[in-house]
Structure 1
């Protein structure tokens, strides 16, 4: 019979970046409840303290050093390499291109695209040819034109291209890389807009399956993509958007 310590080391380790955000926190809670060892990564120690996790790591994954630190700290604290990665770091920028300041553009690319590249690079390097599964967060605005989203659409479009290319490169070692592309989701990032009743109602009406989805609904799909149930999926972008990018409802 395996000892408790041996059983613990057989439990999958998932590294969740952006874990103190709405979707990251929901995913951490779901996987922690399911028995995964969760290493939650974020920049704010006080916010990380509220996340359901086995280990909490303060790191800025928008830099190569911060991404490498996140992976190394997970190995050090939990005693093994995280074979699962959920990259939930992100921001948004809603402004037309001609009004987009250079600093804002660089920031949205740094937070959304640079962090994804650096995190995936650090994780794959540490795997040393081993198998695993990663899931990233894109957005519906990378899949269909939405007004005033040029910079964030470019950043998330880069994330999707990264996912497909990495999936092709590393499929031979049994490494799966996928992403979700959420529509409007009720998280702290969107709270300012959604607290206005008229804006919330307008946003909800855009979706064939009306309403604003929850962070838990997005997290459920991300958790599945990391599981053995999605063992035959790689290089895929799964829209979690109430049909926004795929269908148009019958107008009555």
Structure 2
């Protein structure tokens, strides 16, 4: 196929989640070939994608498997990477068990480190430029009570993004992140199940309300596209103003 007319190949990890699922849909609608990565099962197969890959990206072997599956199926390396793998833990430091802390790091930071490493290595071998976007969180950018473990993990993701962006800029690799505020996804369903809880959460945000997975995916898709060609090493807060301004109290 002519490289100039071949649709970009995008690898989306954490594709079973709310943001990952929506991002797969958006990228495919925009003409990308999409490989969706997740823990397997019917939830993964239901994602709108050209390829479904069951892999554990919290290990270097799982990350390498995801890249290899793309090469085996499409004959090329994904030049777009969206890493949406994540979990959360709402607990104060003194009530966080060591095994809970290590699990949060494994899911959020280890997966980002190994997936980015596998992607970078593959594109360095092919000499192709590419764009990657990672999911952080507002709690890594402003102190929020009872979020110590997840704040530490996502803070590590942001530091990883900035350092890798500097290392690989000369190779034509752009690496950015988004830091969402409270987003209406299956992960937050328990925190938003009551109207009073949803309204209380929404009042924290200057723009009001709780954002949707589509609103976060919009920014992630933009960071993977040509419109953001001069952006790398950036973390964009998609948070209704939460980290920068205070809501007007009426």
> Which TM class, normalised by the smaller chain length?
over 0.9
Residue 145 of structure 1: aligned partner: 143
Residue 92 of structure 1: aligned partner: 88
Pairwise mapping of residues 166-245 of structure 1 onto structure 2 (< 5 A)? 166-245=164-243
Q: Go from structure 1 to structure 2 and tell me whether the alpha carbon gap of 1:188 and 1:108 turns closer, same or farther (over 3 Å shift).
A: same
- Confirm or deny: 8 A CA contact 1:83 1:127 kept in the other structure: yes
Cα drift, residue 9 of structure 1: 6.8
Cα drift, residue 6 of structure 1: 4.7
Residue 107 of structure 1: aligned partner: 103
1-side partners of 2:40 and 2:212: how far apart? 23
- Look up the SS of the partner of 2:56 in the other structure: coil
- Confirm or deny: 8 A CA contact 1:9 1:80 kept in the other structure: no
Q: Which runs of 4+ in 1 moved over 2 A?
A: 5-9, 249-252
**TM (normalized to structure 2)?**
0.97
Please identify, of 206-215 and 196-205, the stretch whose mean Cα deviation from structure 2 is larger: 196-205
- Look up the SS of the partner of 1:181 in the other structure: strand
Q: How many equivalent pairs are there?
A: 248
State the Cα RMSD in Å: 1.2
2-side partners of 1:190 and 1:221: how far apart? 20
**TM (normalized to structure 1)?**
0.96
Residue 50 of structure 2: aligned partner: 54
- Confirm or deny: 8 A CA contact 1:140 1:239 kept in the other structure: yes
Deviation digits for residues 127-172 of structure 1 (CA, Å, limit 9, x no counterpart):
1243100000000000000000000000000000000000000000
Unaligned runs of 5+ in 2: none
Cα drift, residue 242 of structure 1: 0.2
2-side partners of 1:111 and 1:249: how far apart? 32
2-side partners of 1:88 and 1:44: how far apart? 15
- Confirm or deny: 8 A CA contact 2:222 2:228 kept in the other structure: yes
**1:80 aligned to 56, 76, 79, which one?**
76
2-side partners of 1:244 and 1:15: how far apart? 30
